[in-house]
Amino acid sequence: MDERFDWQSEVINTWNDGALDWDRRSEKMWERGSRKKVIPFVESYFQPNAHVLDVGCGSGYGSSKLHELGYDVVGIDISDEMVRIAKEARQEDDIVFQQADVNNLPFKDATFDALLSINVIEWTKTPAKTLSEMTRVLKRDGLLSVGILGPTAGPRQHSYERIYGKAVVQNTMMPWEFLRLAKEYGYELVAQQGVWKREMGDINPDTLPIKLQQAISFMWLFMLRKSDAK
């Protein structure tokens, strides 16, 4: 990678440029699209009234849904434009939104009962460092819910130009790789669930081994518990 390439600045610029379009699509994504399974999945495991950090909150739609369920929510995003939209759109909600880098979170150790991180780690330069920092702010026995894009998910196009040796702002971490990393960091797998691509049609993926299910998923959801985490 070009040593002059500033990953953080490029990610900020990418998401600032796409913030308005992301906000326009948020309602559809969370209610009927690729993220509709996230909140029910989280609600099945997060404790009522938990203090939750929404990592990569975007324009705040998911944070708002968590708030509606009674969670005490803080939303962070690396994009200042996303945070601006979130504050403006969700100003009636009791949610704290702030710009922050997931690799340098502005919180004390063991601050949160639970963390939600959907399609964020794929946008970090060193996922192990990212997981380490999220682990730092999570309480012992706290829950970490992570969504990782499947191999053929459309957003993975952002990493395509690496084929030509160009610097890109998206890594290629697969769901199975994230789970291996999480276990190396001392996490216990509580549950996992696939979000399927529209092209699946009537195919029932439940009959396949987990890694094959992940291979045909749009996104893979993990619920992990911090036990002997680093």
Q: What is the pLDDT of residue 3?
A: 64
User: Within a domain: residue 51?
Assistant: yes
User: Within a domain: residue 143?
Assistant: yes
User: Within a domain: residue 1?
Assistant: no
Tens-digit pLDDT profile for residues 64-115: 999 999 999 999 999 999 999 999 998 878 899 999 999 999 999 999 999 9
pTM score over 0.75: yes
Helix axes 127-137, 175-184, angle to 10 degrees: 50
**Domain around 210:** 7-226
User: Within a domain: residue 175?
Assistant: yes
Tens-digit pLDDT profile for residues 173-220: 999 999 999 999 999 999 999 999 888 878 888 889 999 999 999 999
Could you give the CA distance from residue 195 to residue 56 in angstroms, rounded to a whole number? 19
User: Within a domain: residue 111?
Assistant: yes
Query: For the residues of 163-192, what is the DSSP string, one character each?
Result: GGT---S-----HHHHHHHHHHTTEEEEEE
CATH at 44: 3.40.50.150
Structure tokens at 118: 């959907």
User: Within a domain: residue 135?
Assistant: yes
* Residue whose pair of structure tokens reads 């913030």 in the numeric block: 19
Range list of β-strands (E), the chain: 51-55, 72-77, 96-99, 112-118, 138-149, 187-196, 217-226
Specify which residues 148 forms β-bridges with.
Answer: 220
- What are the φ/ψ torsions at residue 75 (nearest 5 degrees)? -110, 130
User: Within a domain: residue 2?
Assistant: no
Structure tokens at 95: 């949610």
The count of structural domains within the chain is 1
